[in-house]
Amino acid sequence: METKEFTIKWGMAIDLDKCTGCGACMVACQAENNLAPIADASNKIKVMNWITVYELSNGKPYPEHDVAYLPRPCQQCGHPPCVSVCPVIATDKNEEGGIVSQVTPRCIGCRYCMAACPYHARYFNWRDPVWPGGLEKALTPDVSVRPRGVVEKCTFCHHRWMAAKDKAIVEGRDPMDLPEGEYVTSCTEACPNGAITFGDLNNEEHEVAKLASSKYAHRLLERLGADTQVYYVSRREWVLRQLDNYLEDEKVKG
């Protein structure tokens, strides 16, 4: 399948050596994107988290043990497996910026996309969202609230891009040439460790583009060829090895 080319390609580089697994990104994401809280969040299959922090272990016993945390938003694939299986074109990758869109009112809830996504980045609304105690008063106006029966996922806080473009237009600037940092996702903004770098992968001036070309940058299941727009950076070889399936004696680049 051919990859659609865009002038701007929004991407992320997440430094796994800087992430300490505190969960600020997950909380910021829920509040920003109007996800509902849930009383029993221990059944991870039914819990909706557009960004999830996974724990990685080097598998060695104490004292050689090492730990890392991997935040996983939607990887915004270059040729997204979810798009080709959607029977109603509720998800697509057709817009400048390369963000895989998800139009929930169009979704019929067949969940083919969830089966197709190699990253478990898609979530199905098994229940109607509930905000107890008046919590709905703190919902943002930026993202529509989804009912049960539809699939949703991380959109790289697409609404923030729209807002940044509108601001640029009103100020008489070119909305397609935003200065670095004018549009970042909620998780990027929240991270106190600066583990997430967000920007245009096609713009060499942007930090994220530099990081993506680092020898320490890998992508999740890179050899599947989904051509994702999220890069993971680590100077630890064992961490990089876990981003894809390697044979025991196989070398990892970097």
Partner 1 sequence: MAVDRRGFLKFVAGATTGVLATPVPWKLLDDASIWTQNWSWIPRNVDGENSYISTISKLCPSAAGMKIRLVGNRPVRALPDDNHPLSMGGITALAAAEVQLMYSPSRVKRPLKHSGDGAYVAISWEEAEKILKENLRRAGSKIAYVSGDETGTINELLSGMAKESGSEDFYVMPSEVQPAARAFAAMNGNGQLGYDIENSDYVLALGANILESWGTVLRNRAAFKQSHPAAEKPTVKYVYAGPVQSNTAAGADEWLPAKSGTEAIVALGIANLLIKAGASVNAPDFAEFKALAAQFTPQKVASLTGVTPAKLKAIAVELSKAERPLVLTGSEFGQGTGVATVLAGTAVNMLLGSFGREGGVKALPLAPKVIASGMDRSEIADKDLVAYLSRISAGKVPAPRAMVFYEANPVYGLPQPAAMAKVMDKVPFKVAFTSFLDETAQACDLILPTPLGLERFDDVETPYGIGQAFYALARPVAPCAVDGKPAADVLLNVASQLNMDLGFATYEEVLQAKAEAAGADWDSLMEGEFFTSDAVAEQSGLRLGAAVMGKALAAAPKAAKLSIAPVQKLNIGTPNTAIPPYNNKTIRRWELQKNEMYVAMNGATARELGVVKHDRIKLTNSSGSIQARVNIFEGVMPNTIAVLMGFGHTAFDEFSKGKGENVMELLTVGYEAGTGQSVWNVAGVNVSKA
Partner 2 sequence: MEERLLHPADGNSTSRQFGGAAPFFVGLVVALIFGWWAFPGMLFSEQEQPINFSHKVHIQDAEMECSACHYFREDGTFAGLPTTESCAECHSDEPLGEDPEEARFIKEYVETGKEVKWHVYQKQPDNVFFSHAAHSLESCNNCHDFSEVELCSQCHIDVANMDKAPTYYENKLTTYSKQTMKMWQCERCHAHPEHYGVTRSSNACFVCHK
With binding defined as CB under 8 A, does residue 234 bind partner 2? no
With binding defined as CB under 8 A, does residue 140 bind partner 2? no
Q: How far is the CB of 86 from partner 2 (least distance, A)?
A: 11
By C-beta, is 92 or 244 nearer to partner 2?
Answer: 92
Beta-carbon contacts of residue 45 (< 8 Å; ≥ 6 apart): none
With binding defined as CB under 8 A, does residue 135 bind partner 2? no
Which one among 18, 111, 118, 142 touches partner 2, defined by CB under 8 A?
Answer: 142
Residue 163's region, left for phi above 0, alpha for psi from -120 to 50, else beta, is alpha
Counting residues that bind partner 2 (by CB under 8 A) gives 29
By C-beta, is 24 or 164 nearer to partner 2?
Answer: 164
Determine the Cα–Cα distance for residues 181 and 169; give it in Å rounded to an integer. 17
With binding defined as CB under 8 A, does residue 31 bind partner 2? no
Q: How does strand 230-233 pair with strand 10-15? A: parallel
Query: What is the x/- site pattern for partner 2, positions 91-110, by CB under 8 A?
Result: -x-xxx--x-x-xxx-----
Whose CA is closest to 163, among 139, 188, 183?
Answer: 183
By C-beta, is 65 or 246 nearer to partner 1?
Answer: 65
Q: Candidates 19-27, 156-164, 208-216, 238-246 — which segment interacts with partner 2 by CB under 8 A? A: 156-164
Q: How far is the CB of 146 from partner 2 (least distance, A)?
A: 9
Residue 96 contact among partner 1, partner 2, none, beta carbon within 5 to 8 Å by kind: partner 2
Q: Restricting to residues 158-217, which ones interact with partner 2 according to CB under 8 A?
A: 158-159, 162-171, 175-176
Whether 160 and 186 have beta carbons less than 8 Å apart is answered as: yes
Tokens of residue 43, six digits = 């059944």
Show the DSSP H helices in the chain as ranges: 24-32, 81-85, 112-116, 158-170, 186-190, 207-212, 237-241
Contacts 24+ apart (CB under 8 A), 159-162: 160/184, 160/185, 160/186, 161/10, 161/97, 161/99
Q: Is 250 helix (H, G, I), strand (E, B) or coil?
A: coil
Laid out side by side, the sheet with 230-233 consists of 196-200, 10-15, 230-233, 217-218
Residue 197 contact among partner 2, partner 1, none, beta carbon within 5 to 8 Å by kind: partner 1
With binding defined as CB under 8 A, does residue 37 bind partner 2? no
Residue 168 contact among partner 1, partner 2, none, beta carbon within 5 to 8 Å by kind: partner 2
**Site for partner 2, rule CB under 8 A:** 89, 92, 94-96, 99, 101, 103-105, 142-145, 155, 158-159, 162-171, 175-176
